[in-house]
Chains A and B, each alone.
Chain A
Amino acid sequence: MAKKEYAFYPGCSSQLRASAANYMVSVNSMCKVLDIKLTEIPDWNCCGASIGYAGSGELARHVLNARNFALSEQHLPGQDIVATCAACWLGARETKEKLAASSTLLADTQEALKEAGLTYKGEAEIRHMVEVLIEDFGYEELAKPVVKPLEGIKFAGYVGCQTNRPFGIAGESFENPMYLDKLVETLGGEAVTDYDQKVTCCGGALAFSEPEKSQKQIKDIVESAYDHGADMIVTPCPLCQANVEIYQSEINKRYGTKFNMPVTYYSQLMTVAYGGSVKEAGLDGQVIRARKLEEIAVKVVKK
C-alpha cells in the first residue's frame, strides 16, 4: 500500500495534450518517489474556473464542483481531494465552504445534483498538492529522497495569486509566503529571497482577453527575476506558468526586451532533485527550455 492516498482532481489544463500536461508528468514522477497514490476521480468535470462567471452564475458553479465531490465520496471514500491547479483548488475550496455555511445553498445543490443521480455528503476535504507536501510530509521528509541537490541554480519563487489567496497555505502570510523558497532550499537550490514580484497577479484569464494589460504584469514578474539574478522562475500554478512563460516572446516584441527566462513547476524541481530524467520531469514540455535544470537531470548520481 502506498504511504499516502488521495482522490485526485487533475483539472482540464493538466490533461494529456493540454497546456499543463508536463505539470502532470512531473507530479506523477514526484509522487512515485514519495509513495503517494493519486487516484483520478472517475468522470470528474471542469471546476468552472474563475472566468466562467458570465454564464454560470453562482449556483451552477457550486453544483459543478459539488458533482466532483459527490463522485469522489462515492468512489474514493475517506480520501482527501487533491488538486494541482490553483484555480481548481480555490474554486473547489470556496464551494466546500459555501455549502457548509448555508443550508439553503446546500439544499439547492442537492436538488440539482439529484438530476445527475448524485448526493453530496460534505465529507471530503479539498487540498492543494503543495499543501499535502508541506503538511502531510514536511520539509525534512521531502529532503530525504534528494540525490541531486539543485546546486548552483537560483530560483525566483513565484507564488502568484490563487495558491496564496484567499486561502493560502496554513500559517503563511498573504503578502510574503515563504513555503516555495523553503521548498527550493529543501531541494538544495538557492531561493531568491528578495524577489519582489512573488505574489503579483499574472493577469489570469485576461492574458487571453486583454493581452496588453496582462503583459505589463508579466513583464514586471520576469524583469524582477532577472534583476535579482535568478536563473529561472518556479511556481505552483499552471496558469501562472503558462502566462509567464509563453508570452515572453510577445513582450520582447512589444517592449524590446530580451526575455528568455524558464518558468518551471515545483514538481519538476523535485523530480530532478529526486534523480528523475528530463522526460520524467516534463522538462521537454517547456517552451523556454530550463537548461540548468536539464544539466542536473542528465548528471549521473554517485551512490
Chain B
Amino acid sequence: MGDLNVEAVERYRNNFLKEVEERVEEGHWVKMCMQCGVCSGSCPFGPHWAHPPQELFMMIRAGRREEVLTSDSMWMCTSCYNCVVRCPRQLPITQIMHGLATYAHRLGLAPKNQPTRKFSVLFWNNCTRTGRVNELKLTLGLYFSDGFIAGIKKAWALRHIGLGLLLAKRLNPFELIKGHGCKDKKGIHAMLKKAYEIENRRKGFSS
C-alpha cells in the first residue's frame, strides 16, 4: 500500500490537482469550484467536518496533498446530495467526496480508525461476498471491529434496539447461518475482479 503512495508522489510531483483529476471519481470537476461556500453551508454534517467540501476543493488546488488525503472529513459525507442540487456550478460533490475517500483508502493514507471508513469496507465486503447484504453479520461486524470485549459492550448497550427489531421480525438470528445470497456468486466475483483490473489500468495504478 505504501508503495502505491510513493509511486503516486513520484508520478505527479507537485501537481495534486492533476492527480485528483486523473485518479479521483469526478475529480476533473474540482477546478470548476468558485468557492461560494453553498455546499459547506448546506451540509448537514458540515459543523463536524474539519474541512467541509469547499475547503477541501481549495486545499486540493493549493496542493495540500497530505492534509487532504489523511483527513477524515470526506468520510463524514452521508450522501444526502444537498450540496449537489444547490451548487451553482453543478459539481458532483457527493461523488467527489466518495472518490477522495476511496483514493485515500487505496493509498493507505485514510485514517485507520475513522469509523465510517471501517463501516464502508465492511459493507462492501459483506455485500460482494454473496451478492447481497447480510444485515446481521454487517451489524455484528461493526460492533466487533474493535475487538471482542468492545463488541460485547456495544451489543449490550444497544440490546433494546436489537430486541425491538427481533420482535418486529426485522432481524433474525437465523441469518447468521443461512443468509440471503445470489446463485451466481462466481459470475459476480469474476465480473468484479475484471472491473478492478480495468479501473486500475485506466487510472494508471501499477498493480
A residues within 8 Å of B by Cβ? 12-13, 15-22, 43-46, 48-60, 63-64, 67, 87, 90, 104, 108-109, 111-118, 161-162, 165-166, 174, 200-201, 203-206, 208-210, 213-214, 217, 246-247, 249-250, 284-287
Contacts and interface: CB of A to CB of B under 8 A. Distances in A.
B191 A116 contact: yes
B161 interface: yes
B76 interface: yes
A229 to B, nearest CB: 25
A117 B99 CA distance: 29
A54 B133 contact: no
Contacts of A108: 195, 198-199, 202
A196 B190 CA distance: 47
A225 B140 CA distance: 32
B194 interface: yes
Given A63-B195, A117-B187, A213 B48 contact: yes
Interface in B158-191: 158, 160-161, 164-165, 167-172, 174-175, 180, 182-184, 187-188, 190-191
Dominant SS at the B interface? helix
A208 B135 contact: no
B190 A116 contact: yes
A265 to B, nearest CB: 13
Given A18-B135, A20-B170, A57-B199, 11 more contacts: A17-B175, A46-B127, A53-B101, A55-B105, A59-B195, A108-B195, A162-B79, A166-B85, A201-B80, A208-B142, A285-B168
Contact of A22 (B98, B168, B174): B168
A56 B161 CA distance: 30
6 contacts: A20-B170, A22-B170, A56-B124, A112-B192, A162-B81, A200-B44
Contacts of B190: 115-116
Contacts of B196: 57, 59-60
Contact of B116 (A87, A209, A285): A209
B108 interface: no
Interface string B124-152: 11011001110100010010000000000
B193 A115 contact: yes
Nearest to A204: B78
Q: Nearest 10 CB-CB pairs, A to B?
A: A55-B124, A116-B187, A54-B120, A50-B79, A201-B80, A165-B81, A12-B133, A17-B172, A115-B190, A46-B127
A204 B123 CA distance: 13
Interface of B: 25, 44-45, 48, 76, 78-82, 84-86, 94, 98-99, 101-102, 105-106, 110, 115-121, 123-125, 127-128, 131-133, 135, 139, 142, 158, 160-161, 164-165, 167-172, 174-175, 180, 182-184, 187-188, 190-196, 198-199, 202
A158 B199 CA distance: 38
A117 B188 CA distance: 10
A250 to B, nearest CB: 7
A104 B121 CA distance: 27
A118 B182 CA distance: 15
Contacts of B165: 19, 246, 287
Contacts of A213: 45, 48, 76
Nearest to A46: B127
A250 B158 CA distance: 8
A104 B169 CA distance: 45
Nearest to B190: A115
Contacts of B191: 63, 67, 112-113, 115-116
Find the residue from B124, B182, B195 having the highest chain A CB count within 10 A. Answer: B195
A161 B121 CA distance: 23
